[in-house]
Structure 1
Amino acid sequence: MFNMNPLNLADAQMQLWIMLLVSGILGFIIGYISRQRTIRELEGELASTERAVDDCLKIPAAVVAAADNETLVLNRIRARANEINFARIGVASAANADDLKVIVGVGPFLEKKLHAIGIYTFRQIANFTQEDIDKVNDIIEFFPGRIERDNWVGQAAELAVKK
């Protein structure tokens, strides 16, 4: 019959070398693209890990006892006392402080927080505007809307008149 051996063709070896070269180039291109994608993914993970490490470094690593925790909170609050407009609500001192725990919703620790930012009297609380309420709520790290729900301003106004 006839003999159809492709290796007997004159340019068969040249075709084999060309196919080998093309497959090698395609393999290199596919590997290069795959490696670049892997590099981008790893760089993204590295960036997020670096941000997480930076966030961890910003947090103080000191372990504090429960009693010291109260002091830390009060110091953090005291540092923000200058954000309150005392020209509008009035200035008071510990010497003429009222018992703020009489107001429904104010407990002993909350009273300490209020004292830490310079709020000592019923009159000061009675002079709160909505802006003051929002600012004090944020500074003393209290539940949002709680000052309005417990009507601190109304209670303080009544207590200031009775005093």
Structure 2
Amino acid sequence: MFDMNPLNLPDAQLQQLIMLFVAGALGFIIGYLSRQSDIRHLEGDLASTERELDDCHRVPKPSVVGASNEEAIVLNRIRSRAKEIDFSRIGYASATEADDLKVIVGIGPFLEKKLHAAGIYTFQQIANLNRDDVDKVNDVIEFFPGRIHRDDWVGQAARLAKQQ
């Protein structure tokens, strides 16, 4: 009476196979529904991004006065990437507050235009840059890697900001 083992029943293996099949089918169905939900969510994000991209293409690009066509293309490209810079940390400024950035050794007229296109107008903004910010600005303005560090823009800008 106490020797009853359910695995010794004649159809025990069949019951186990049926349970295995049901578990596999349920796993497949749940995974499929979950994946379909993810796909619908990603398609919605894609449609939203495509609408934003279309809106960006409709906005007329500001032309730069006195710049050649190639300069305008570069400056517009920099202007479009300016949002990558952390202005909440380095500070915001406008063209009306602009310092003469060409005073900093290593910054010429075109580089100053590039910095302005990126939203950097003042010595204080450059002085507030940390190492990561310098690398990001270097990338955005398409300048020689490491040149900002070598020319010590941050140190020069800090001294010039104190003199003002």
TM exceeding 0.5? yes
Gap runs ≥5 in structure 1: 1-65
What does 1:39-78 correspond to in 2, within 5 Å? 67-78=68-79
Residue identity in the other structure for 2:163: K
Residue identity in the other structure for 2:96: A
Query: How much does 1:146 deviate?
Result: 0.2
Structure of higher CA gyration radius: 1
Q: Hey, what's the Cα distance between the residues in 2 that align with 1:71 and 1:103?
A: 23
Query: How much does 1:67 deviate?
Result: 1.6
Aligned residues: 98
Query: How much does 1:136 deviate?
Result: 0.4
Superposition TM-score, scaled by structure 2 size: 0.59
Q: Hey, what's the Cα distance between the residues in 1 that align with 2:156 and 2:150?
A: 11
What does 1:8-157 correspond to in 2, within 5 Å? 67-157=68-158
Residue identity in the other structure for 2:73: L
Q: Hey, what's the Cα distance between the residues in 2 that align with 1:113 and 1:158?
A: 22
Query: How much does 1:107 deviate?
Result: 0.2
Gap runs ≥5 in structure 2: 1-66
Q: Hey, what's the Cα distance between the residues in 1 that align with 2:133 and 2:149?
A: 12
**Secondary structure of the corresponding residue to residue 143 of structure 1:** coil
Q: Hey, what's the Cα distance between the residues in 2 that align with 1:96 and 1:139?
A: 22
Deviations 1:64-107 (A, max 9, x none): xx920000000000000000000100000000100000000000
**Secondary structure of the corresponding residue to residue 114 of structure 1:** helix
Runs of 4+ residues over 4 Å off in structure 1: none
Q: Hey, what's the Cα distance between the residues in 1 that align with 2:153 and 2:69?
A: 29
Superposition TM-score, scaled by structure 1 size: 0.59
Q: How high is the sequence identity, in percent, across the aligned residues? A: 72
Q: CA RMSD in A?
A: 0.9
**Secondary structure of the corresponding residue to residue 79 of structure 1:** helix
Deviations 1:1-52 (A, max 9, x none): xxxxxxxxxxxxxxxxxxxxxxxxxxxxxxxxxxxxxxxxxxxxxxxxxxxx
